[in-house]
Structure 1
Amino acid sequence: MPIFTNPFQDRSVKQMDSASLKPPLPHEPIPPALSRVGRGASSDASRRPSVATVSSINSNPDTQHNHLNVPRRPSAWGRMSDYVVRRSSTPHITAPPLHEWDRWVAQTKRTSSDQLIDESRMSALTRKYGELCEVSGLGADSIILVSHKYQYCPPLDNYYALKVLRRAPDQSPSDHQKRVTAEFALASTLTHKHIVSTYELLPLGPSNNPDLSVISMEYCAGGDLHSIIAGSATHKLPVEQADCLFKQLLRGITYLHGKDVAHRALAPENLLLTNRGCLKIADFGQATCFRVPGEEPIVLSKGKCGISPPYISPEQYTDAEFDPRAVDVWAAAVIYVAMRTGRNLWQEANEGEAGFAEFIKERRDGKRNAVIDEISTDLSRDILYSMLSINSADRPAAAQVLSSPWVEAVDCCIPAATVE
């Protein structure tokens, strides 16, 4: 196992706005900056970034804990194969821990007299998963809370992510319940090293107002991939770390497809890391089962599935049906380019967008893209181009990419033997 250089030295630096990312040299064309979009995005610059991006947590039972303190950022990152989480000397507190939670609940109320949270259910939740200590993700219809369960006997010291989902204004209560139940039913069946573990679905509101539900999940202290890219010293990852994370992503996708599940919304915001650098795929709100158990035909998708425009494949902008597995393969390639360059090649894969139109023209003329050529090798170049095939039928399966000479040769900080 080679010793990797420090991948995320500036992990403690607050996430920079996409406009502050270092631009290319003046003579180079300027591609779109790597912007935060999707469920974890927030238009309020004072709010913290998406799922589990805020801090890393020391879960050492020998360490004294203060339940009033929010989890702290690490002072530095060790090599990728041995993440060492350190606790800073003072708490990293910039706002009341649950300030955004209170505001989010207040904004959810249709009228001032609404009772959204059943106090007995909230008490049961905190008894089981610990006290709420911080908001780590904020979206239009969901919020991620971090809870800390600590007890002396029997000894327990765990952090959890609690995803609270609320009913959208234009959604009926029955549709909301179907959406929440479907997401939980799918995610809770997935057990893999590179998939966020999902534990339980619980109602949070009173029985006569089921607008709030909570899904308890594994907490990933390392943050999301978008914040890691944006917070790195060069706003991009070295090839060793990008390749390692790419290989882990492909392992997760291959597992999903083997279970007849397509994620359909892969983006850096939905890829989380543990404090030891294990990448995990999260947020299955757009996922679908593309094959009915016991039946052979593939259930094709139609229309736009993803929520992060730069990672949405071109066929989703058409009226044609497509294999949803190809959507994940396309997104994985775009994510790899984002890791290596810190930018997106286009704002969206639509011929009306200048960056994508230029990419299509290059490929139709038999030319190669300068950015892809710069970050690729003889082994990886053809794989990346095939994953970014405009025709979804021409893209390789995730398992084919994983078994390619390029990816097989990648030294990964998470050994394959630990992958289920």
Structure 2
Amino acid sequence: MHHQSQQQSKADQHQVKHPQKSADDTSSSSTPVQLSPSPSRQTLTTVKSCDSISDSVSVGTSKLHRLNTANLREYGECYKRLGKGSTAIISVCRSKKIIPSSDPQGNKSSKLYAIKQFRKRNKAESEKEYMKKLTSEFCISSTFRHVNVVETIDLVLDDQSRYCTVMEYCPGGDLFSVIMSEHMTDVELTCCFKQMMQGLAYLHSVGVAHRDIKPENLLLTLDGKLKITDFGVSDVFRCAWEKTGHKSRGLVGSEPYIAPEAFEKDHEYWGANADIWSAGIVMYSMWRGGHAWIRADKKSDREFRNYLRHSTTRSFPNFKKFPDPMRDLVYRMLDPNPDTRITAEQVLQNEWIQSILVCEKGIDAMNRDHHHTNISSLKKQ
């Protein structure tokens, strides 16, 4: 779901300069493929129902029993649309409850929520199929408790009997819009990347693969936090009682970010490994402002075949201008072999990543404003 950005990042003299093609980059792949909003994601997959996923989902399943009585009005009134996808509309909801304010002028505020209003069931799907898709996403996402993952609060009905997920609202917009503004500093880029990896490491630790990591699904708060959202195609690859996991099935996600193993004939792969590939593409996009290739499929994408030829010698032209520590990490995240690809925990243990200090409440390690977004351009909520 593409969350329209409401602001751009704060710029200074240390803006990231997206490298241009140099004389020694003789391959055509030295110019990134233009970054653009991801096309509708692939959805050739089966989704687990609530009764087939881990015990940790009990919090989510218990809330489903409220659906006969819970109404969206309990959370306030929706007043602004943020985005629309093939399955749902995202809006902002303002609570009627007033939040105590420390504003010296005595201005009062109310809590805001993001509301995902799902489309009604179409004629092509059964009631069981429709409810399985809807409740599976909620059952998975409502159990997460991590600073870098959007909190899913409730599943309710609106006045038109449409199912709605109530979520934490992130007014800073999505990372895609900020990347396109080209106003992120090096410090902000690395901070956002580390936060994304912290969120991914958490998801993988509880046995969940996101399977649609992309800038549009990385939201920002006003105090510098990055949060992973949209678990519509997520998969539980290891239940709480299991010591070993299982492979994910189906071609899902947004094409430029899908790992090469997902394009194989049987579409069976380790979901967590595929997430790392997607995160590596996000990392590349943040620094270069584009994609190295359109599709990680050696049969159909010439630029990806070029990468495969150069990856073993680590001589791919598009990576030449990355600093050495970053370049090494990109190659390890974009390892064509999923069995030897680096994990999220290993990324966080990387010496360069450990040297990155994540901002706290909008202030970085040098006591400078560090919002990742342009606060002055925010429209009053």
If the length of structure 1 is used for normalisation, what is the TM-score?
Answer: 0.68
* Residue 204 of structure 1: how far off its partner (Å): 3.2
Alignment match of 1:224 (pick from 157, 171, 174): 174
Offset of residue 272 of structure 1: 0.2
* In 2: Cα distance, 1:312 partner to 1:325 partner: 12
TM superposition shift of 1:201: 0.6
Gapped regions of structure 2 (runs ≥ 5): 1-7, 12-17, 42-67, 101-107, 362-381
* Corresponding position: 1:160 with 2:161: no
Residue from 309, 325, 343 that aligns with 1:379? 325
Kindly indicate whether the alpha-carbon contact (under 8 Å) linking 1:262 and 1:289 is maintained by their aligned counterparts in 2.
Answer: yes
Is 1:172 aligned to residue 126 of structure 2?
A: yes
Select which of 333, 350, 355 maps to 1:404: 350
How many percent identity over aligned positions? Answer: 33
Amino acid at match of 1:283: D
The 2-side partners of 1:348 and 1:256 are apart by: 25
2: CA distance, partners of 1:277 / 1:227: 15
Aligned partners of 1:285 and 1:310: how far apart in 2?
Answer: 18
* Matched pairs, number: 308
Tell me how far 1:220 sits from its aligned partner: 0.1
> Does the alignment pair 1:337 with 2:284?
yes
Counterparts of residues 131-142 of structure 1 (less than 5 Å):
131-142=77-88
What is the match of residue 243 of structure 1? 190
| Matched residue, 2:55 | none
**SS of match in other structure, 2:150:** coil
- TM-score using structure 2 length: 0.75
Which residue number corresponds to residue 216 of structure 2? 269
Runs (5+) with no aligned partner, structure 1: 1-6, 11-21, 41-119, 416-420
Residues 299 and 152 of structure 1: CA distance in aligned 2, closer, same or farther (over 3 Å): closer
Which structure's relative contact order is higher, taking Cα pairs within 8 Å and 6+ residues apart?
A: 2
Which is further off, 143-152 or 342-351? 143-152
Q: 2:310 aligns with which of 358, 362, 370?
A: 362
User: 1:299 and 1:332, CA in 2 relative to 1: closer, same or farther beyond 3 A?
Assistant: same
Root-mean-square deviation (CA, aligned residues, Å) is 2.6
Indicate the SS of the match to 2:33: coil
The 5 A counterparts of 1:65-214 are 124-126=71-73, 128-152=74-98, 157-166=110-119, 167-168=121-122, 170-204=124-158, 212-214=162-164
CA deviation after TM superposition for structure 1 residue 146, in Å: 0.5
8 A contact 1:238–1:340 mirrored in 2 = no
CA contact (8 A) 2:147 2:227 kept: yes
Q: 1:319 to 1:298 in 2, by over 3 A?
A: farther
> Structure 2 counterpart of 1:132, which letter?
C
2:139 partner amino acid: A
CA distance in 1, matches of 2:249, 2:84: 28
* Offset at residue 152 of structure 1 (A): 4.7
Residues 401/174 of structure 1: CA separation in 2 closer, same or farther (3 Å cut): same
Local SS of the residue matching 2:213: coil
Equivalent residue for 1:292, pick from 224, 235, 239? 239
- Partner Cα distance (2:194, 2:320) in 1: 20
